[in-house]
């Protein structure tokens, strides 16, 4: 964490230093660019004035030649207008005598209108073109014309309007933010551009430096001027003029300020981005630690859960939907099916069922949102034998799809116990036939079925004749053998659809569904004869024989329950007893 904070601080400091360097470099570049613009403007103005001087020299040469050749003054005066047209930048051309008096003007203007108010100062003793200290509204160039004896014959004077010079300055300026001033030797303004520019108030020290012709660019704070100005002042060669150029910092630093703004904005964004990166890195590290801790806890919890699942006494099977391939089976389920866990993974869930129809019903119910709990069904062991199981099925959704979750418990032993208990509850333990309660329940249902189907039915009651004597003479064990023999004969002689039960002691009962009177009589007689033919061989070599008395009745349309039928059958049985036993009596 400390290393991360230190790294973030170092990155921030590095960005600040880089920003400071970029700002300083961009400021220097802007200063150098403005200075180059000033120097370029000075050079262009100097070249233009030098070009004007050459054009003046060429334009005045014909006049000079005419005067030196002795051409009369009035003839030369007539040539002034023609020569003036060859000097498009000049506004007027005048001819002066050796004392500076105006002899002729090209456009007919008076000396006052031309601005020639210097008097004898206009006359020149040097036969070369020179520039005079300017008037407030124009530039004046003069050239003396001398004969071979170096006597001044006349002087030619050319006037250039200040507006023309201002246009030259405006054409030279690279933009409205640059101000150009043409000053005379006494630093008085002759022309300036743009038109709204005003000559700044120059300090005395600066004036002295300009007068000493120190050509340089100065970055100074002018008196009574806001901001910083960039000034360049140069003497224009041999001309008696000074070119002053000024760029206000509000102009030449405007782009620099914009650059600085974007630098600051970008650096601020980058610094914020660095801080955010550091923060999110710290957060990710923290989240990573938390995730690792949670993953460790989750792994431990998963291990405990897996151990619990593997050791639980409930079988668990997971199957992928929709193809039902088994994806997991715990140890208990594998033992229940007699399969290794790895081998079970190659099977499908429906292969675990003994009846696939049961699986279809269970899986459809679970996939439709109706989970099944503790449903008893038959499953298939590895060897193909069925066994009873209690099954719970549901469907769970996960990111990788749906899964069928099946929990199961082997209830084969329980089912056997239930069958045993049911058998004990419904079966007579000695004879193996239905006991009285179970017979009454089953026969009542069968009676209702026969009445509903409009089928005939008969009821047969029988017992062993002289059963007490058998017990008294041979013992109760032989009596039990007689009861068992009686039950065995009844089962062998009656049909599978007939209901047979022992209702007490030596008494037996049979409900014969779908049986008319003739069939009932035939069955009763067969049963009586079989009983009479039965011989029980004892261990001591003795043989025991016994007969049976039977009572027969038919179901009537008005019989509401089994009791009325049993009453008639019992009456028929007693008739057989009173009439000598070993016979069948009927009460219809």
Fold observed for domain 34-158? Beta-Lactamase (3.30.450)
d(CA 535, CA 542): 10
**Helices vs. strands in the chain: H and E counts, helices first:** 16, 22
pLDDT score, position 487: 95
Q: How many residues does the chain have?
A: 588
Distance, first Cα to last Cα, the chain = 106
- Supply the pLDDT for residue 210: 59
Question: Mean pLDDT across the stretch 27-43?
Answer: 73
Looking at 69-121, list the stretches that DSSP marks H as alpha helix, in order from N- to C-terminal side.
73-85, 111-114
What is the arithmetic mean of pLDDT over 189-195? 79
Q: What are the b/e assignments for 111-141, b being 16+ CB within 10 Å?
A: beebbbebeeebbbeeeebebbebbeebbbb
pLDDT higher than 80, residue 54:
yes
Segment 230-244 shows an average pLDDT of: 75
Quote the mean pLDDT of the chain. Answer: 82
Locate tokens 């409930």: which residue? 314
Supply the pLDDT for residue 535. 93
CB count, 10 Å around CB of 86? 14
108 pLDDT above the threshold of 90: no
- The residue from 506, 525, 539, 543 that is catalytic is 506
Q: Is the pLDDT of residue 344 over 50?
A: yes
Residue 123 has pLDDT above 70, yes or no: no
Q: What is the per-residue burial (b if ≥16 Cβ within 10 Å, else e) of 541-576? A: eeebebbbbbbbbbbeeebeebeebbebbbebbebb
Mean pLDDT of 349-353: 89
Give the pLDDT confidence score for residue 215 in this predicted structure.
Answer: 46
| For residue 111, pLDDT beyond 80 | no
| Percent of the chain at pLDDT exceeding 90 | 27
Q: Which fold has domain 165-252?
A: Beta-Lactamase (3.30.450)
Q: What are the angstrom distances between the C-alpha of 534 and each of 63, 483, 490, 531, 586? A: 180, 12, 12, 5, 24
**Cis amide leading into 42 (omega within 30):** no
187 Cβ contact list (under 8 Å, min separation 6) = 202, 207, 210, 211, 242
Beta strand ranges found along 491-582 (DSSP E):
499-504, 507-513, 535-537, 543-545, 548-554
CA 302 to chain centre: 29
Q: CA 433, 439, 445: angle at the middle one, nearest 5?
A: 140
Averaged pLDDT for residues 317-329? 88
Q: What is the mean pLDDT of residues 74-84?
A: 82
C-alpha 527/C-alpha 371 separation (Å) is 54
DSSP structural state of residue 121: G
CATH T-level fold of 314-415: Beta-Lactamase (3.30.450)
Classify 183 as helix, strand or coil. Answer: strand
pLDDT band (50, 70, 90) for residue 158: confident
φ, ψ at 238 (rounded to 5°): -90, 0
> Are 74 and 252 within 8 A, CB to CB?
no
Half-sphere exposure of 410 (CA within 13 A, CB side): 15
Fold matches, 34-158 and 165-252: yes
Please tell me the least confidently modeled range out of 114-128, 144-158, 304-318, 554-568: 114-128
Q: Express each pLDDT in 359-411 by its tens digit.
A: 899 989 988 888 888 888 999 988 889 999 999 999 988 777 888 899 888 88
**What does the angle CA 254 – CA 260 – CA 263 come to, to the nearest 5 degrees?**
145
Sign of the four-CA dihedral 274, 277, 281, 286: positive
Q: CA-to-CA distance for 408 and 277, rounded, in angstroms?
A: 54
* Highest averaged pLDDT of the listed ranges 265-269, 274-278, 281-285, 567-571: 567-571
Average pLDDT over residues 254-277: 74
Phi/psi at 134 (nearest 5 deg)? -75, 155
DSSP for 190-208? Answer: EEEESTT-------HHHHH
For position 197, what pLDDT does the model report? 74
Lowest mean pLDDT among 143-147, 222-226, 286-290, 360-364: 222-226
Residues 6 or more apart in contact with residue 219 via CB below 8 angstroms: 31, 228, 229, 230, 231
Mean pLDDT for 454-473 is 94
Residues 6+ apart with CB under 8 A from 354: 377, 378, 379, 380, 386
Asked about 310 being catalytic, the answer comes back as no
Name the DSSP letter for residue 434.
Answer: B
Q: Can you give the pTM of this predicted structure?
A: 0.45
Cβ-based neighbour number of residue 401 at 10 Å = 9
CA distance 250 to 174: 16
Q: Is 191 exposed, middle or buried (0-12, 13-18, 19+ CB in 10 A)?
A: buried
Query: Which range has highest mean pLDDT (62-66, 240-244, 271-275)?
Result: 62-66
What the block records as the tokens of 537 is 């061989």
Mean pLDDT of 76-85: 82
Q: CB of 162 within 8 A of CB of 139?
A: yes
What is the per-residue pLDDT for 147?
81
Q: Which CATH architecture has domain 427-586?
A: 2-Layer Sandwich (3.30)
For the stretch 401-414, pLDDT in tens is 888 899 888 888 88
Could you state, in order of their start, the residue ranges of all structural domains in the chain?
34-158, 165-252, 314-415, 427-586
Could you tell me the two tokens for 142? 């003069």
- Eight-class DSSP state of 384: S
């Amino acid at each position: 964490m400390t290393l991360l904070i230190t790294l973030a601080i170092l990155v921030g400091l590095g960005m600040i230093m880089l920003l400071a360097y970029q700002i300083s470099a961009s400021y220097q570049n802007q200063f150098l660019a403005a200075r180059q613009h000033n120097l370029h403007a000075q050079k262009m103005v100097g070249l233009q004035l030098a070009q004007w001087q050459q054009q003046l020299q060429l334009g005045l040469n014909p006049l000079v030649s005419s005067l030196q050749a002795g051409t009369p003054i009035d003839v030369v005066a007539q040539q002034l207008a023609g020569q003036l047209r060859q000097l498009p930048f000049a506004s007027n051309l005048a001819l002066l005598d050796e004392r500076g008096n105006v002899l002729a003007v090209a456009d007919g203007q008076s000396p006052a209108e031309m601005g020639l108010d210097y008097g004898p100062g206009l006359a020149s003793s040097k036969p070369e073109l020179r520039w005079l200290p300017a008037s407030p509204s124009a530039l004046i160039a003069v050239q003396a014309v001398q004969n071979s004896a170096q006597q001044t014959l006349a002087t030619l004077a050319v006037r250039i309007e200040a507006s023309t010079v201002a246009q030259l300055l405006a054409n030279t300026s690279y933009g409205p933010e640059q101000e150009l001033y043409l000053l005379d030797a006494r630093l008085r303004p002759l022309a300036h551009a743009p038109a709204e520019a005003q000559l700044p108030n120059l300090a005395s020290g600066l004036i002295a430096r300009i007068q000493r012709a120190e050509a340089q660019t100065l970055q100074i704070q002018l008196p009574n001027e806001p901001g910083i100005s960039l000034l360049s002042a140069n003497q224009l060669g041999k001309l008696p003029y000074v070119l002053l150029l000024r760029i206000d910092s509000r102009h030449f630093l405007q782009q620099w300020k914009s650059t600085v703004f974007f630098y600051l904005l970008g650096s601020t964004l980058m610094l914020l981005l660095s801080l955010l990166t550091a923060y999110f890195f710290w957060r990710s590290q923290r989240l990573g630690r938390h995730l690792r801790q949670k993953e460790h806890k989750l792994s431990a919890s998963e291990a405990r859960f897996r151990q619990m699942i593997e050791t639980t006494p409930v079988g668990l099977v997971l199957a992928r939907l929709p193809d039902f391939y088994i994806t997991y089976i715990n140890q208990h389920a594998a033992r229940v099916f007699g399969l290794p866990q790895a081998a079970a993974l190659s099977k499908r869930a429906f292969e675990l069922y003994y009846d696939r129809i049961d699986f279809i019903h269970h899986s459809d119910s679970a996939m439709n949102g109706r989970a099944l709990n503790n449903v008893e069904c038959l499953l298939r062991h590895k060897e193909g034998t069925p066994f009873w199981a209690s099954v719970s099925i549901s469907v769970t959704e996960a990111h990788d799809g749906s899964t069928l979750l099946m929990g199961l418990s082997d209830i084969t032993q329980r089912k056997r116990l239930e069958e045993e208990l049911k058998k004990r509850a419904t079966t007579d333990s000695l004879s193996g036939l239905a006991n009285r309660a179970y017979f009454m329940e089953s026969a009542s249902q069968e009676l209702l079925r026969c009445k509903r189907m409009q089928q005939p039915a008969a009821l047969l009651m029988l017992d062993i004749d002289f059963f007490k004597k058998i017990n008294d003479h041979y013992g109760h064990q032989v009596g039990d053998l007689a009861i068992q023999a009686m039950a065995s004969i009844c089962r062998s002689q009656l049909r599978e659809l007939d209901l047979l039960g022992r209702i007490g002691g030596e008494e037996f009962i049979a409900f014969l569904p779908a049986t008319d009177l003739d069939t009932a009589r035939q069955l009763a007689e067969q049963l009586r004869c079989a009983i009479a033919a039965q011989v029980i061989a004892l261990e001591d070599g003795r043989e025991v024989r016994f007969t049976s008395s039977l009572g027969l009745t038919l179901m009537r349309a008005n019989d509401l329950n089994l009791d009325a039928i049993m009453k008639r059958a019992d009456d028929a049985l007693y008739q057989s007893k009173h009439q000598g036993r070993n016979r069948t009596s009927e009460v219809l």
